[in-house]
């Protein structure tokens, strides 16, 4: 690996339960996420990504606004979306918001552009799901053009054309760090290479080494294009507690509720404990003691030759105080262990 592995965390602003078990307001959840990020910054975590959703169970619909609030209270942690649903947004607006974030955070902004695994944003913003592919392709094309920071001339079918226009504010130093978030489509992998952008693989189930062909494909695409390869990152769910058993027991009830709620919409059967344990032991659920989680992250990082690993630490109603503990362990124990294992 050329650069040391960066270790980050992700959250969707999952609506958590309060001490009495009742769900907190989304506003409170947003404030809690800011506190979580502040903790992560203080403890040496490299990145926090907040995912855009438009649902009752996830409080974050405007990642840049939350990230700007985090920026004002942190010093060094990098700030990103995980992901920004570009298909149902305006690329210019997205760029402006992240450029503003980049300015107020002194160059710490990153955007992960994706199509999103949820579809609420399409009817919400007046887009047709049948345009899923075209929307992302065209908007990514425009966004990639914006990254050059020069005057834009662009035309497409999904928004008005641009003729020699500038977008402000400009990025102060270099370019806006832009990843392409990919869930498992080879076309998306090749597209990321085509636009010379880093690749963020969302691996939310199964053996992570299954994604080795995607990493290979990405690197081969760069080889064919004759360009130096860009970084690959992985986003996966996880949870750290003092012991393996404690981590699993604490995570399981809320994880199941969350999984079953989403699964119901997608036609998945309810999750059994056996499946959960299977994922924890062999799959893409990074749950356990700091040692267990660190070993697992190191194995994935080696297998896929990663530059970044982001653990999604929020899990449905799992309480803020537990998430804070998880972040603390991730920063103080998991990260040093992973670095040790990889050195």
Partner 1 sequence: MEPAAPGAANKPIRKLLGQLRSVLGRCVPPTTFLFAQRARNDFEEVALWWKPIQFAADNHAPHRSANNLHQSRGFDCEPSQAVLRVVGRLIGFGPPVGPDGVLLSQAQVLRDVVEKAVLTDGLGIDFIGIEEHHRADLAISAPEVLLAAIRVTHQTALHRQNGAHALADQKLRDGASDAVARAGYQCRLAHGIEWWIQQTHVGRKSRVNFNDTVAAAPAAAQFDKLLLADCDGLQADLGKLIRFQAKTRHNTLSLSAGARSRDPLAIVPFSLVVSTGVARSLKRFRFCRPPPRAMEQISKWQHLSS
Residues near partner 1 (CB under 8 A): 62, 64-69, 71-73, 93, 96-97, 99-106, 166-172
User: Which residue has tokens 């494909």?
Assistant: 217
Cβ nearer to partner 1, comparing 43 with 103: 103
Angle of helix 132-146 relative to helix 91-104, nearest 10 degrees, comes to: 40
State the nearest-atom distance from the C-beta of 233 to partner 1, in Å: 24
The span from the CA of 262 to the CA of 90, in Å, is 27
State the nearest-atom distance from the C-beta of 57 to partner 1, in Å: 22
State the nearest-atom distance from the C-beta of 164 to partner 1, in Å: 14
Cβ nearer to partner 1, comparing 174 with 270: 174
| DSSP-derived 3-state class of residue 57 | coil
State the nearest-atom distance from the C-beta of 96 to partner 1, in Å: 4
The span from the CA of 136 to the CA of 134, in Å, is 5
State the nearest-atom distance from the C-beta of 151 to partner 1, in Å: 11
Cβ nearer to partner 1, comparing 23 with 65: 65
Half-sphere exposure of 225 (CA within 13 A, CB side): 18
Cβ nearer to partner 1, comparing 169 with 270: 169
| DSSP-derived 3-state class of residue 196 | coil
State the nearest-atom distance from the C-beta of 74 to partner 1, in Å: 11
State the nearest-atom distance from the C-beta of 100 to partner 1, in Å: 4
Cβ nearer to partner 1, comparing 66 with 293: 66
Cβ nearer to partner 1, comparing 92 with 234: 92
State the nearest-atom distance from the C-beta of 167 to partner 1, in Å: 8
| DSSP-derived 3-state class of residue 171 | coil
The span from the CA of 180 to the CA of 24, in Å, is 32
Helices (H), 195-289: 212-225, 244-266, 273-282
Burial classification of residue 44, based on how many CB atoms lie within 10 Å of its CB (0-12 exposed, 13-18 middle, 19 or more buried): middle
Cβ nearer to partner 1, comparing 75 with 261: 75
Q: Are 38 and 70 in contact (CB under 8 A)?
A: yes
Cβ nearer to partner 1, comparing 147 with 298: 147
The span from the CA of 300 to the CA of 215, in Å, is 12
The span from the CA of 198 to the CA of 33, in Å, is 26
Cβ-count burial 265-280 (b if 16+ within 10 Å, e if not):
eeeeeebeeebbeebb
State the nearest-atom distance from the C-beta of 103 to partner 1, in Å: 3
Q: Is the peptide bond before 169 cis (omega within 30 degrees of 0)?
A: yes
CA max distance for the chain: 59
Bridge-based pairing state of the strands 47-50 and 199-202 = unpaired
Cβ nearer to partner 1, comparing 68 with 315: 68
């Amino acid at each position: 690996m050329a650069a040391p592995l960066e270790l980050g965390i992700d959250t969707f602003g999952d609506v958590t339960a309060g001490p009495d078990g009742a769900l907190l307001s989304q506003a409170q959840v947003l404030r809690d996420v800011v506190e979580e990020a502040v903790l992560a910054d203080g403890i040496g975590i490299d990145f926090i990504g907040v995912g855009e959703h438009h649902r009752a169970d996830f409080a974050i619909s405007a990642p840049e606004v939350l990230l700007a609030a985090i920026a004002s209270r942190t010093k060094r942690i990098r700030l990103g979306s995980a992901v920004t649903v570009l298909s149902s947004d305006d690329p210019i607006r997205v760029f402006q918001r992240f450029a503003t974030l980049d300015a107020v955070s002194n160059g710490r902004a990153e955007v992960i552009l994706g199509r999103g695994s949820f579809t609420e944003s399409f009817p919400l913003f007046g887009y047709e799901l049948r345009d899923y592919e075209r929307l992302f392709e065209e908007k990514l094309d425009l966004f990639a053009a914006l990254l050059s920071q020069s005057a834009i001339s662009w035309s497409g079918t999904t928004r008005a054309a641009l003729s020699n226009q500038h977008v402000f504010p400009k990025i102060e130093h270099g370019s806006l760090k832009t990843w392409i978030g990919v869930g498992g489509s080879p076309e998306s992998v090749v597209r990321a290479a085509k636009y010379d952008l880093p690749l963020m693989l969302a691996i939310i189930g199964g053996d992570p080494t299954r994604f080795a062909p995607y990493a290979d494909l990405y690197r081969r695409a760069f080889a064919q294009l004759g360009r130096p390869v860009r970084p690959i990152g992985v986003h996966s769910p996880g949870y750290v507690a003092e012991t393996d058993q404690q981590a699993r027991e604490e995570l399981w009830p809320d994880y199941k509720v969350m999984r079953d709620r989403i699964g119901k919409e997608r036609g998945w059967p309810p999750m059994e404990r056996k499946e959960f344990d299977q994922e924890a032991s062999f799959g893409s659920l990074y749950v356990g003691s700091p040692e267990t989680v660190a070993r697992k992250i190191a194995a994935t990082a080696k297998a896929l030759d990663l530059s970044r690993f982001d653990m999604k630490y929020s899990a449905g109603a799992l309480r803020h105080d537990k998430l804070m503990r998880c972040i603390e362990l991730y920063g103080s124990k998991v990260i040093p262990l992973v670095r040790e294992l990889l050195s």
